[in-house]
Amino acid sequence: MKKLKDTKVLVAAALMASLTFVATVVLKFPTPAFGYVHIGDGFVLLSGLLLGPVTGGLSAGTGSMLSDLLGGYPAWAPGTFVIKFLTAMTASAVFSVLKDRGNVKYKRFYTSLAGIAGELVMIAGYFIYNIFMLMLVNSGESRTAIYSAVTQSVAEIPFNLMQGMTGVIVCVVLYPLFRRDADF
């Protein structure tokens, strides 16, 4: 029986990684700096909620990383893997604490809060990774290079906020469709 359960988890993780990849690469809009806005974060969050913090995080990180590798952003792939892993892990942890509150009418609210927590991690993660990448590109540790990197990274925050909000909405709408016992 354990083998069957392991196989089901592996298939579910591969499916969520694939859905994350497709949702990320199909509809993406480039941003002024280095990144792009997409709906894949909805599936990053769903991965965490459906598969748990570790398996969901690995699934989300893998699908998102592949979208960077195959979509022309290979330098971002390592950071994306870690950031999306932590995004899914955070959403999963927050959701597992909130969902046991017992009041069914608040499940969408709990899903939203978990998604928001996860997306805050994404926004902070990309802010830091943007600075790191810009410092590498500018090959400098001078005050001017640091100031420039921080300024450009701040300019990306509104786009990451928009991506995060879209991800939360996609997650809240799709979660009940993926879970028969969601009681929404």
Instruction: Summarize pLDDT for 110-149 with one digit per residue, the tens.
Output: 999 999 999 999 999 999 999 999 888 877 677 888 888 8
58 located within any domain: yes
State how far the alpha carbon of 42 is from the alpha carbons of 132, 154, 172, in Å.
26, 23, 8
pLDDT at 184 over 50: no
Q: Does a structural domain hold residue 109?
A: yes
* 162, two tokens: 């928009």
If one compares 171 and 156, the residue with the highest pLDDT of the two is 171
Q: Categorize the per-residue pLDDT at 3 as very low, low, confident or very high, splitting at 50, 70 and 90.
A: confident
| Domain contains 183 | no
Judge whether 42 lies within some domain.
yes
The radius of gyration of the chain's CA atoms, rounded to the nearest angstrom, is 17
- pLDDT above 90: residue 105: no
Helices and strands (H and E) in the chain: how many: 6, 2
**Domain range for residue 111?**
2-24+33-178
pLDDT of residue 65: 97
Return d(Cα 80, Cα 64) in angstroms, integer.
7
* pLDDT value of position 5: 79
Q: For all residues of the chain together, what is the average pLDDT?
A: 89
Query: Residue 158: pLDDT above 60?
Result: yes
In this prediction, residues 161-168 reach a mean pLDDT of 94
Is 170 within 8 Å of 42 (Cβ atoms)? yes
SS3 30: strand
For residue range 16-66, what is the model confidence (pLDDT) as tens digits? 999 999 999 998 887 776 667 899 999 999 999 999 999 999 999 999 999
DSSP conformation class of 29: E
Could you tell me if 37 and 161 are in contact, meaning their C-beta atoms sit under 8 angstroms apart?
Answer: no
Q: The domain that contains 107 carries what CATH number?
A: 1.10.1760.20
- Three-state SS at 37: strand
pLDDT of 180 strictly over 70 = no
Question: What's the number of domains the chain is made of?
Answer: 1
**3-state secondary structure (DSSP) of residue 125:** helix
Task: Specify if 108 maps to a domain.
Answer: yes
- Residue 184 domain flag: no
Judge whether 105 lies within some domain.
yes
Does residue 104 belong to any structural domain of this protein? yes
**Residue scoring higher pLDDT (31 or 86):** 86
Count of all residues that appear for the chain in the document: 184
User: What ranges in 27-76 are assigned the alpha helix state H?
Assistant: 41-51, 53-70
- Give the number of other CB atoms < 10 A from CB of residue 91: 34
How far apart CA 108 and CA 12 sit, in angstroms, is 23
Q: Which residue has the higher pLDDT, 169 or 103?
A: 169
What average pLDDT does this structure show over 152-179? 92
What would the two tokens of residue 54 be? 């570790």
